[in-house]
Structure 1
Amino acid sequence: MKLNITPFTAKSVIAAGILSMMVMAGCNNSLEEPTVLGSSSSSADAAAQALEHMPNELLVKLKAGQSEEAKARVLAKIGGKVSEKILTKTMERLGDKEGILVVRTPLAVFEAINKMKGGAEIEFAEPNYIYYHTATATDTYFTNNSLWGMYGAGTTPANQYGSNAAAAWAAGTTGSKNVYVGIIDEGVQYNHPELDGQFWTNPYDAVDGKDNDGNGYIDDVRGWDFDGNDNSIYDGGTKGTLDDHGTHVAGTIGGEANGTGVAGVNWNVTLISGKFIGRKGGTTASAIKAIDYFTNLKLKHGLNIVATNNSWGGGGYSQALYDAISRANNAGIMFIAAAGNNGTNNDVTVNYPSNYDLPNVIAVAAIDKSGLLGSFSQYGAKTVDLGAPGVGIISTTAYNTYSAYDGTSMATPHVTGAVALYASTHPGATVAQIRNAILSSVVPTPSLSGKTVTGGRLDVKAALSK
C-alpha cells in the first residue's frame, strides 16, 4: 500500500475556539482522600464546597448486606430520597450488590454529609461533582502544513516537536480495526467524512427497541448518551451542545487518511462514544456509568478496548469515580486524562481525574509547535506524566467542519491514539506494558523538565519499538 502522509490541508477550516477543559476550582491536597465520612477538616470541607456539584444531591455507597430498615434510617437523617440506583453490569459482574445511590435531600450537600458521618451502615457519601470544558473563539485559520502534531523531525512536512506519528505511518503502521477506543466526552459526529468508517456498530443489540444484549441500554448502536440517557451520541446542537469537543478528540485519535482534510494517529481503529457531557456539563454519576459501559463491553463480549480518552476535569476526589477507573484498570483498559488548563501545578493543587493514582491513568500536558509548555497547561513533576501536542491542533468538528483548538484536551488524544497504535502491533499488551512503552520512549524536552514525571514529550514511532 502506498502511504500518503502529506495531505494535511483542511477542507473547510473554520475559526474555532481555544479549547479549555477548565477545572472549575483548585482543591487542597487534603482532598487526596475523600472529604466524606470521617473527615473532620474544616479547610478540606471549605475547599470541597468551592468545587461545583449538583445541589441537594449525594452519591451514597452502603456497606454490603444492609437491610432496607438500615437504609431507611440513613436516609431519614437527611430527609433523603433515592432518585437513582447505579448498579452497572460491571459492578454486578464483580459481585457488587449494593451499587451507588443517587440521593436527593432538602439539605445542602455538605450539611447532609456531616449529618451522615459516623454511620456504621455507610461506606462513603460524597458530592455528585460536575465536570466541564469551555471554548472561546479565535481568528486562527490553517492551510498547508497545519497538522504539526502528527509530524516528526524526519517526516515531510516536519516538526520535531510533533508526536512523530507520521514516521510510524511511513514504516507501515497505521492501526487496526480490531483495536477499540472509548471516547468519554461530549458526543461525536460519527458520520463526519473523516470518521464515518471508524465507528463501532453494536452487533449485540439490533435496533428494535429492546435491550438485546442485556446491558441496560436499549439500541446502543454506537455507544450511549449518559447525559441524555438515550442512544443518540450525536445531537448536532439539538440539546444545546454541538458535540464539537468530542468530535475533535475523535479526529485526532482516528481521522481517516482519505486524501483530504485531516488524518488521525490511527488510520484504522474502532471508536465508541460514551457521551456524558451535555449543555450543563457532566456529573460524576454519568462518568461512572460511561466508564463501566466500556469495562462491561470488554468483560462480557471480549471487545479489545485498550483505552478511553478523558479530556475533561473538575470536582474533587470521588471514591466512586476512583473505583470505576480501578475497575477499568483491572479489565486492562488505559485511562488517558487531560492535566487541565488552569496553568497550575497538579502536585500542589490537585486535578481530577488526571491525579488519580492508578496504573492505567496517564496524565497529559500540552506543548506548542516550538516545544514549549502551553501557557494554559497544568503540570506536575509527580502527577503529570508527559507532554503532547496541544496548541493549534486542527481536527474534526460537528457539521462536517474542521477547527483549530488549544488545550490539554487536544494533547490527550494524541497519547490515546499512540496507545491504540501500539496495541495494533502488540496484541494482548497489558496496562503495565502499554504504560511503559509510552512513558519510556519520550523525547527529553527542556520545557517539560521538572514539570512532568518523564520530563519528555510523546514519540509515537519510538513507543512502537518498546
Structure 2
Amino acid sequence: MKRTITMMMCLLPVLGFAQQPGKNWHLQSKDADKVYGTGVIKAYDELLKGKTPTTVVVAVLDGGIDTLHEDLRTNLWRNLKEKPGNVDVDGNGYKGDVVGWNFLGGPNGQVTNEASEYQRVYFQYKSMFENVQNEKDVKKKDKQHYISWVLSKSLLKKGDTVAPVYFRGEQVKDDLYNEKDRFYGNSNLIGDPYFHGTHVAGIIGAERGNNIGMDGIASAVNLMGIRAVPNGDEYDKDIALGIRYAVDNGAQIINMSFGKAVSPERKMVEDAIRYAEKKGVLIVNAAGNDGTDIDLHPHYPSPFHMKGEGRASNMITVGASGATEAGLVAGFSNYGVKTVDVFAPGVAIYSTLPDNKYSPLSGTSMATPVVAGIAALIKSYYPQLTAKQIKYIIENSVTKIDFPVTKPKSGGKKVAMTELCRTGGIVNAYDALVMADKMSKAN
C-alpha cells in the first residue's frame, strides 16, 4: 500500500469530476436521472413521506470530525450523561466524552503522522526473526508475529527506516500491546487529519433540507466521532477499542473507512468485531484503494475470521463505483468475489470538509459511508430490523449489473460484475427500503 495519507485512509483525489453528473449524483437514481446512484432522493419522495423515523446512532471511526461544522453539529451524537472537562461524570472511563473520543490524543499532544504498519512490524521484530531459516523453528506463541514480519519484509521499500516507528511514543502514553490499557486519549475530535472523518460524516448524516451545503443520506441520525486513524496506518489496538467504545455507548452502525495490508494484532480487532456482532451492531468497512483483488491480498480489517471459522455476519465490505456505465467500477477500487460484498458510489462524492467547507472526493472511503447511510436510513424507519437483516437487505436489493465492466488495473479487461463482488451489484436505497418494509411486515 502506498505510503501516503490518501491511500492509508482509503481516500483519493477526485477523478474526472468535471465529467461527472451533479454534485449529489450518488443520491439520484438510474431510472429518473440516468446515473448509477442509490435512489435516496426518490425514496424520500415516494416511500418515506408522512413516516416518522427513529434516530439511529452511527459511529464514525476515523480521523476525527469538525464538531463545529454548520452542516453536522445538529446531528452529532451527544453523551447526555457526561459533561465537558477533565471529569468522568458517567463513569465509562473516558473523561469529557460529550461527542465521542480521541484514541490518538494524550497529555503531550495528538498523533498526526504515523508509519505504515509494515514498517513498524519489520523493525520491531527484525532482531527476533531475521536469522530464522525455517518457520518450524518459531515458537507457537510467536508464529502470528513471524507471519506478519515476513509479509512486512516483502513490502519494505528502499529508504524505509526505523525512525517513523516511534512517532506515537510519548504522545499517548499507553501500552500499545495491552488491550486492558483502555482509558487513554482525550475528548478532542478536531485533530489532523480530521478532514477525512468530516467528509465521511457528511455523506452519512449532514443535515437534510437546511439549504446549506449538501444533504446526508439519513435524516434521523446522531454521528458519534471516534478518532483512531492518523496520517499513516492505524494501530490495531485503537481500532479494537474504538469499536468497543462505539458499541458500549449505543452505536447501532459503525463506519470504518480505512485499512492496511498488515495487521499484527489482528485478534484484538477480530474480538472487537465479534463483540459488536454479539451486541447486534452493523459494521460497514472499506475495501481499499489499491485496485487489487483482496481475496488474494487481504485488506484489514477483514470480515474473515483468523482460524477459518467463517466470516462476521455483521460486516459489509464495500468497493467504489462511478456514475456512468463507462466508469462503473472505479479504477482505484479493490475488489474480491469472496471478500467484497457490494459496490457503492465512491467517485466525486460531494460532502463536508472542516471550517464549513465542501468538496467532492473519491475513494472507497466515500463509498463506505454511502452504505452506512443507507443502513441508518433503513434502521431509522424500521428499527425492529437487526444488523443481520439490514445486511441481508442491502446485499439482496442491489442494482444488478448485467453488462461487462472494466476490472481495475487490468489494462482495460472486461469482466462480469459478479467476478468483482459477491452480489454483482450497486447498492440501491429505494429497493432496500421496499424490501425492508416487506420484511418488517412479515416479522
CA distance in structure 2 between the partners assigned to 1:399 and 1:162 by the alignment: 28
Q: CA deviation at 1:215?
A: 1.3
Q: Does the 8 Å CA contact 1:379/1:451 hold for their aligned counterparts?
A: yes
Q: CA deviation at 1:191?
A: 2.0
Quick one: which of 198, 219, 227 aligns to 2:75?
A: 198
Q: Does the 8 Å CA contact 2:25/2:35 hold for their aligned counterparts?
A: no
Q: Secondary structure at the match of 1:320?
A: helix
Aligned pairs for 1:215-364 within 5 A: 215-228=92-105, 229-235=185-191, 241-257=192-208, 258-298=210-250, 305-317=251-263, 318-356=266-304, 357-364=311-318
Q: Deviations over 1:185-232 (max 9, x none)?
A: 011112211112100121111225321111110010100011111101
Query: Relative to 1, partners in 2 of residues 1:360 and 1:168: Cα closer, same or farther, differing over 3 Å?
Result: same
Query: Relative to 1, partners in 2 of residues 1:281 and 1:400: Cα closer, same or farther, differing over 3 Å?
Result: farther
Quick one: which of 431, 445, 458 aligns to 2:427?
A: 458
Q: Does the 8 Å CA contact 2:66/2:190 hold for their aligned counterparts?
A: yes
Q: Deviations over 1:380-419 (max 9, x none)?
A: 1111001100011111011111111111111001100010
Q: Does the 8 Å CA contact 1:364/1:386 hold for their aligned counterparts?
A: yes
Single out whichever of 454-463 and 278-287 deviates more from structure 2.
278-287
1:150 aligns with 2:19: no
1:443 aligns with 2:399: yes
- Richer in strand (by share): 1
Q: Deviations over 1:268-298 (max 9, x none)?
A: 3111001101245421111111101011113
Q: CA deviation at 1:133?
A: 4.8
Aligned pairs for 1:26-65 within 5 A: none
1:170 aligns with 2:41: no
Q: CA deviation at 1:20?
A: 7.5
Q: Deviations over 1:227-260 (max 9, x none)?
A: 111101123xxxxx24111011011101112123
1:212 aligns with 2:92: no
What is the identity, as a one-letter code, of the residue corresponding to 2:42? A
What is the identity, as a one-letter code, of the residue corresponding to 2:214? V
Q: Does the 8 Å CA contact 1:204/1:213 hold for their aligned counterparts?
A: yes
Q: Secondary structure at the match of 1:289?
A: helix
Matched with 1:187 is: 64
Q: Deviations over 1:101-135 (max 9, x none)?
A: xxxxxxxxxxxxxxxxxxxxxxxxxxxxxxx4565
CA distance in structure 2 between the partners assigned to 1:265 and 1:178 by the alignment: 13
What is the identity, as a one-letter code, of the residue corresponding to 2:200? V
Q: Does the 8 Å CA contact 1:346/1:378 hold for their aligned counterparts?
A: yes
Matched with 1:22 is: 7
What is the identity, as a one-letter code, of the residue corresponding to 1:163? T
What is the identity, as a one-letter code, of the residue corresponding to 2:336? G
How high is the TM-score relative to the length of structure 2? 0.70
Q: Does the 8 Å CA contact 2:10/2:363 hold for their aligned counterparts?
A: no
CA distance in structure 2 between the partners assigned to 1:359 and 1:21 by the alignment: 29
Q: Does the 8 Å CA contact 1:186/1:278 hold for their aligned counterparts?
A: yes
Q: Does the 8 Å CA contact 2:11/2:362 hold for their aligned counterparts?
A: no
Q: How many percent identity over aligned positions?
A: 33
Q: Secondary structure at the match of 2:355?
A: coil
Query: Relative to 1, partners in 2 of residues 1:377 and 1:363: Cα closer, same or farther, differing over 3 Å?
Result: same
Aligned pairs for 1:124-135 within 5 A: 132-133=9-10
Query: Relative to 1, partners in 2 of residues 1:415 and 1:21: Cα closer, same or farther, differing over 3 Å?
Result: farther
Query: Relative to 1, partners in 2 of residues 1:354 and 1:388: Cα closer, same or farther, differing over 3 Å?
Result: farther
Ranked by relative contact order (alpha carbons within 8 Å, sequence separation 6 or more), the top structure is: 2
Q: Does the 8 Å CA contact 2:82/2:89 hold for their aligned counterparts?
A: yes
What is the identity, as a one-letter code, of the residue corresponding to 2:386? T
Single out whichever of 280-289 and 360-369 deviates more from structure 2.
280-289
Q: Secondary structure at the match of 1:197?
A: helix
Q: Does the 8 Å CA contact 2:351/2:359 hold for their aligned counterparts?
A: yes
CA distance in structure 1 between the partners assigned to 2:36 and 2:213 by the alignment: 21
Query: Relative to 1, partners in 2 of residues 1:141 and 1:222: Cα closer, same or farther, differing over 3 Å?
Result: farther
What is the identity, as a one-letter code, of the residue corresponding to 1:187? G
Q: Does the 8 Å CA contact 2:338/2:421 hold for their aligned counterparts?
A: yes
Ranges in structure 1 where 5+ consecutive residues have no aligned partner: 1-18, 24-131, 236-240, 299-304
Q: CA deviation at 1:429?
A: 1.4
Query: Relative to 1, partners in 2 of residues 1:217 and 1:138: Cα closer, same or farther, differing over 3 Å?
Result: same
CA distance in structure 1 between the partners assigned to 2:77 and 2:399 by the alignment: 34
Query: Relative to 1, partners in 2 of residues 1:159 and 1:213: Cα closer, same or farther, differing over 3 Å?
Result: farther
Query: Relative to 1, partners in 2 of residues 1:171 and 1:134: Cα closer, same or farther, differing over 3 Å?
Result: closer
Q: Secondary structure at the match of 1:309?
A: strand
User: What number of residue pairs does the alignment pair up?
Assistant: 327
Q: CA deviation at 1:449?
A: 2.6
Query: Relative to 1, partners in 2 of residues 1:316 and 1:153: Cα closer, same or farther, differing over 3 Å?
Result: same
CA distance in structure 2 between the partners assigned to 1:462 and 1:144 by the alignment: 22
Q: Does the 8 Å CA contact 2:339/2:421 hold for their aligned counterparts?
A: yes
RMSD: 2.3
Q: Does the 8 Å CA contact 1:343/1:375 hold for their aligned counterparts?
A: yes
CA distance in structure 2 between the partners assigned to 1:133 and 1:385 by the alignment: 17
CA distance in structure 2 between the partners assigned to 1:330 and 1:252 by the alignment: 27
How high is the TM-score relative to the length of structure 1? 0.66
